[in-house]
Chain A
Amino acid sequence: MTTRQFGAPVQRREDPRLLTGGGRYLDDLGHTAYEAAFVRSPYAHARILEIDTDAAVDVDGVIAIYTHEDLPGAVGEPLPVLIPHPALTAARTGYPLAKGEVNHVGEAVVMVVATNRYVAEDAVDRIVVRYEQLPPVVGIENAREAAHLVHEDAPGNVSAHLVQEVGDVTSAMAGAPHTLTLELDIERSACMPMEGKGVYARWNSDDESLRVYSSTQTSTGVRACVAAKLDLPLAKVECIAPDVGGGFGVKIMHPWPEEVLVPWASRNLDHDVKWTEDRREHFISSAHERGQLQEVTVGFDDEGRMLALDVRFWHDNGAYTPYGIIVPIITATQLLGPYKPGSYRVEFFSLYTNTVLVTPYRGAGRPQGCFAMERTMDAIAAHLGIDRAEVRSRNFIQPDEMPYDHGLMFQDGRPLKYDSGDFPASLAKLKELVGWDDFADYRAQAEAEGRKVGLGIGCYVEGTGVGPYEGGHIQIETNGRVNVATGLTTQGQGHQTSLAQIVADELGVPIENVHVTTGDTRRMAYAVGTFASRAAVMSGNAVALAAKVVRAKALRIAADALEVSPEDLEIEDGVISVKGAPGSSIDLGTIAVMSNPLRYAFDEAAKKATQFAGTFDVEKPPIGDDDEPGLEGQDFYSPTQATFANGMHAAIVETDPVTAEIRILRYCVVHDCGNMINPLIVEGQVHGGVAQGVGGALYERMVYDESGQLLNASFMDFLMPYASEVPFIETDHLETPSPLNPLGIKGAGEAGTIPVTAVIASAIEDAEGFPITSMPISPPELWALRRAHARKDAS
């Protein structure tokens, strides 16, 4: 019997190839291509007065130098606003190459194409751009003050202002026995995938077609943008995401300037052209995230139950808004986590600054929202002297209240309605895992040894698997090989394994026979992309549906051949047999042969399907009216709304009483993503997410000076945690299946990241005894806070 793959900890099938250097990343392709490099703005805000390329033209090996003036038609127009929103009243996007003005350090001004990247950079060095500096707007306070404007026609530096309210917050707040106000601050960070962005374009002048490889999270999106910008028929453009060395959100943004310019240059020069982003470029011209200032006012009763929650926050969207206001919308809605706020009002201002633009980074606005909500929970607990876990549980949405509609609109334009989850059960598991009730003893013991320790907690709910849809296409070849295609892309999540598990089960074939292709528009032209923890939910269900289509077809053909009804058949190990009569069977490869009536026998197996093989009914056409040749089929999965995963984390930290060094002693995760396709992969996603969360909590920040220079634009000074900084992660799972999709799954990709900042802040606060309101926090900052509090206590 074929063992069920769904739910099994199947080893990742892609790893041997990737770990032994078999990966083909963007820069592994196209060794004969010309290479591009860019002159990027050294100023945060400036007018371009003159561009002098004379000295660069003479560099041996330079092929072409382009400025905005050279860009024809749509190529020279502003990049699209990908996700418009009625509240985004002042959307602004940049040009592929700056036109007249630059709005952040790193904005592309001149493109050089040369025989290789070394030569291209030599030429870049010789190009002289004269600028007239304009006053830069850096930091949320300055943006809010609006003494200077990033865009002359975006008053107050506001791109969007949005208010949502459920219930009557004003009167509920007025009637609340207790109120508290918190002012909070979260710094910028960024995705920092190991592989930066990259584009490689091959114009084929023989048939006027274009192939684009991009290190992207959406090949269908890039394809559509390139076709539109270059005014090419969609049928003449194909886009492929090769192996992609991480994305974490930054590669769902598209088209990046280079994704337009490189294909255009390839056509223009009738030659392959490639651009591989280097790390400095990634820091100063790809996207960042996270930066927000928040003001939370909460009203609550004597038991710590929220009656009113009033949140205002200011979101730094950087210089442009091509990805709309998805990030602040997610903050505004997902802030609520597993809690009932009583009544809720949220207002945000999305603000322009002369810095790198802000688009979703794993967690996408949720870490900020979770920080606001969880800091608030801790503040209520401290105010009333109630246990922090207890305050949380008193505010939980209860299992019998599911589905729970918050009355807000989520990031997909649909209601924020939780489908599943059992928050009290999750909390119980977490308390057990971390030893919540024994912590007081542990602390007393540590104190006796002169050590300072603290326990922190954070809960979140994550809307995952947003639509609109994904598709699956499955084709079984005559040798029994199962080709699965889905259009969304892979950046290391293990789709070659998890999607294959689903198909293997549905079709009854060995997983070794299943081969999954992702992110290739030649194989699946309709797709959205990999983001919002949606791949398993969307493509998982899509390939399951497609497998059902193919299975039904296989059974129908087999039933005809074996002269039984399809209900009497089963498929195991790729062989269809009559239930209870193992003798009469037929393998899927043979069904594939039979499904495709042939004139020509191109191989041995095909002979059986040719016209003189004599096994068919001459009264019927070779292909029936509603039928198609081939053992293949496709289907699409399109849900009415997102699935809502959730999780709760707890950490024990130790802070050095003298040096304020911070160490995470234990990190515990309870995670609910519904039914797990592969617990090994889920665990890996949680681990990676927590690692990035630790970065956001203790290490990473974008250090802009007041002139808008990014002072730490390298891995020497931008401190991503090493393996040595990431604690051992203890995990436990609760599986409350989603009722929304056939597989009962919810997303898991971002889960680990979301609450870490909140959890670490909670733990440090617990260790130190004063509020932690600004994250990330470093030992020098904690030390300074201690001194400030000591001074305050003394006076």
Chain B
Amino acid sequence: MKPGPFRYLSPDSLDEAVAMLREHPEAKVLAGGQSLIPVLSMRLARPTHLVDLAGIPGLDRIEVRDDCVRVGALVRHAQLLADDEAYAALPLLRQALSNVAHPAIRNRGTTVGSIAHADAAGEMPSILVVTDGVVEVVGPNGRREIAGTDFFAGALETALEHDEIVEAVRFGRFPARTRTAFLESARRHGDYALAGVAAVLTLDEIGRIASARAAFVSVTDVPGVVDLTDILSGMDPDSADWSVIDEPVQAALAPESDIHADADYRRMLAGELARRAFAAAAGATHGGTHA
């Protein structure tokens, strides 16, 4: 459980980092290391070089803008979780982040890193898509933006080229009268979830459902948005029968069996969590409510 040989590189700027990636086709970006280092220690990956982002100034900022919360590549999960301004702007961030791993890991692991890592069991990729988020990328040809929904290509696969780096992600803010909830079930507190769901409800002026969206964790190949507006719009959130979402929810799931739970169980669990999450969002008077 010791990594094979590699060279450690510590660039001072994103441009330098990109140049290093270009020069070394077998190099890897290192952020918080909470996913990458275990993989190296088990010798499941053998990068020749690690390009550490830690020394690049300016990447550790959280910016709350009118339409989004922008999170730099070196913002740790813990930092974002604790940020009251970000919470006020987009409560779903904290609702989800409190389910990401444990404090020790959140202190080092970065939110952007978990998006770049693109594990379908990670919470934050789903949050990115359900907020209509955007990934800001730097590469040899300058900057480009990728919509969250286009970013994830498969298990641990993204639209990033080898020599591209995610500079930041932008989580979109919701319109007024939006309520959210995040629920997941893990075998142990802080583990990757067997299934999880983010539920987003936006109400109209008279308090009826105007739009309803969900995104799932661990039960889909890639994070995607399940739009339930057609079924739920016009309903009174206080008296809605949430089982009406079962069919479209089930249609969107593609759970797989593993040693912790079989696909049938995950399917049932995701369905139940979705109902409960919408009920929770509907009932949320604080925390889940947006200005």
- A interface residues with partner B (beta carbon < 8 Å): 117-118, 121-122, 125, 278-280, 658-659, 661, 699, 703, 711-712, 714, 716-717, 719, 721-722, 724-725, 778-780, 783-784
Min CB distance A710 to B, Å, is 11
- A779 partner residues in chain B, CB cutoff 8 A: 185, 187, 261, 265
- B42 partner residues in chain A, CB cutoff 8 A: 280, 714
Are B259 and A780 closer than 8 Å at their CB atoms? Answer: no
Q: Which residue of A lies closest to B5 (CB)?
A: A122
Q: Does B60 contact A (CB under 8 A)?
A: no
- A278 partner residues in chain B, CB cutoff 8 A: 1
Are B190 and A722 closer than 8 Å at their CB atoms? Answer: yes
What are 11 inter-chain pairs, A to B, with CB distance below 8 A?
A118-B2, A118-B3, A121-B1, A717-B260, A719-B188, A719-B260, A722-B102, A724-B189, A725-B189, A780-B260, A783-B265
Min CB distance A127 to B, Å, is 14
Are A659 and B272 closer than 8 Å at their CB atoms? Answer: yes
Q: Does B204 contact A (CB under 8 A)?
A: no
Are A721 and B188 closer than 8 Å at their CB atoms? Answer: yes
- B4 partner residues in chain A, CB cutoff 8 A: 121-122, 125
- B38 partner residues in chain A, CB cutoff 8 A: 716
- B interface residues with partner A (beta carbon < 8 Å): 1-5, 38, 42-43, 102, 185, 187-191, 194, 259-262, 264-265, 268-269, 272-273
Are A117 and B189 closer than 8 Å at their CB atoms? Answer: no
Are B188 and A699 closer than 8 Å at their CB atoms? Answer: yes
Are B1 and A280 closer than 8 Å at their CB atoms? Answer: yes
Are B189 and A717 closer than 8 Å at their CB atoms? Answer: no
A659 vs B270: C-alpha distance when bound (angstroms): 10
A717 vs B258: C-alpha distance when bound (angstroms): 10
Are B189 and A279 closer than 8 Å at their CB atoms? Answer: no
- B191 partner residues in chain A, CB cutoff 8 A: 719
Q: Which residue of B lies closest to A701 (CB)?
A: B259
A301 vs B1: C-alpha distance when bound (angstroms): 58
Are B190 and A724 closer than 8 Å at their CB atoms? Answer: yes
- A778 partner residues in chain B, CB cutoff 8 A: 187, 260-261
Q: Which of B3, B262, B268 contacts A659 (CB 8 A)?
A: B268
A697 vs B261: C-alpha distance when bound (angstroms): 17
- B264 partner residues in chain A, CB cutoff 8 A: 784
Are B2 and A659 closer than 8 Å at their CB atoms? Answer: no
- B187 partner residues in chain A, CB cutoff 8 A: 699, 719, 778-779
Are B265 and A661 closer than 8 Å at their CB atoms? Answer: no
Are B2 and A121 closer than 8 Å at their CB atoms? Answer: yes
Min CB distance A475 to B, Å, is 43
Are B188 and A724 closer than 8 Å at their CB atoms? Answer: yes
A667 vs B268: C-alpha distance when bound (angstroms): 29
A303 vs B268: C-alpha distance when bound (angstroms): 44
Q: Which residue of A lies closest to B272 (CB)?
A: A658
Are A722 and B272 closer than 8 Å at their CB atoms? Answer: no
Min CB distance B192 to A, Å, is 8
A121 vs B46: C-alpha distance when bound (angstroms): 13
- A279 partner residues in chain B, CB cutoff 8 A: 1
Q: Which of A699, A712, A725, A784 contacts B259 (CB 8 A)?
A: A712
A725 and B188 contact, Cβ closer than 8 Å, known pairs A122-B4, A279-B1, A659-B269: yes
Q: Which residue of A lies closest to B269 (CB)?
A: A659
- B3 partner residues in chain A, CB cutoff 8 A: 118
A780 vs B194: C-alpha distance when bound (angstroms): 10
Min CB distance B275 to A, Å, is 9
Min CB distance A85 to B, Å, is 35
Give 18 A-B pairs besides A722-B190, A784-B262, A784-B265 with Cβ atoms closer than 8 angstroms: A121-B4, A121-B43, A122-B5, A280-B42, A659-B268, A661-B185, A699-B187, A703-B259, A712-B259, A719-B188, A719-B191, A721-B188, A724-B190, A779-B187, A779-B261, A780-B262, A783-B265, A783-B268
Q: Which residue of B lies closest to A711 (CB)?
A: B259
- A784 partner residues in chain B, CB cutoff 8 A: 262, 264-265
- A780 partner residues in chain B, CB cutoff 8 A: 194, 260-262, 265
Interface centre among B2, B3, B189, B268 (most CB of A within 10 A): B2
Closest CB pairs A-B (n = 4): A724-B189, A278-B1, A780-B265, A780-B261
- B102 partner residues in chain A, CB cutoff 8 A: 722
Are B2 and A117 closer than 8 Å at their CB atoms? Answer: yes
Are A722 and B260 closer than 8 Å at their CB atoms? Answer: no
Min CB distance A441 to B, Å, is 28
- A712 partner residues in chain B, CB cutoff 8 A: 259
Min CB distance B273 to A, Å, is 8
- B185 partner residues in chain A, CB cutoff 8 A: 659, 661, 779
Interface centre among B102, B187, B190, B262 (most CB of A within 10 A): B187
A716 vs B264: C-alpha distance when bound (angstroms): 22
Min CB distance A601 to B, Å, is 55
- B188 partner residues in chain A, CB cutoff 8 A: 699, 719, 721-722, 724-725
Are B259 and A717 closer than 8 Å at their CB atoms? Answer: yes
Min CB distance B195 to A, Å, is 9
A563 vs B108: C-alpha distance when bound (angstroms): 71
- B190 partner residues in chain A, CB cutoff 8 A: 722, 724
Min CB distance B274 to A, Å, is 12
Min CB distance A719 to B, Å, is 5
A392 vs B194: C-alpha distance when bound (angstroms): 39
Min CB distance B40 to A, Å, is 11
A125 vs B102: C-alpha distance when bound (angstroms): 33
A780 vs B264: C-alpha distance when bound (angstroms): 9
- A125 partner residues in chain B, CB cutoff 8 A: 4, 43
- B268 partner residues in chain A, CB cutoff 8 A: 658-659, 783
A278 vs B43: C-alpha distance when bound (angstroms): 13
Q: Which residue of A lies closest to B38 (CB)?
A: A716
Min CB distance B216 to A, Å, is 15
Interface centre among B38, B185, B259, B272 (most CB of A within 10 A): B259
- A661 partner residues in chain B, CB cutoff 8 A: 185
A279 vs B42: C-alpha distance when bound (angstroms): 10
Q: Which residue of A lies closest to B259 (CB)?
A: A703
Min CB distance A470 to B, Å, is 36
A279 vs B272: C-alpha distance when bound (angstroms): 36
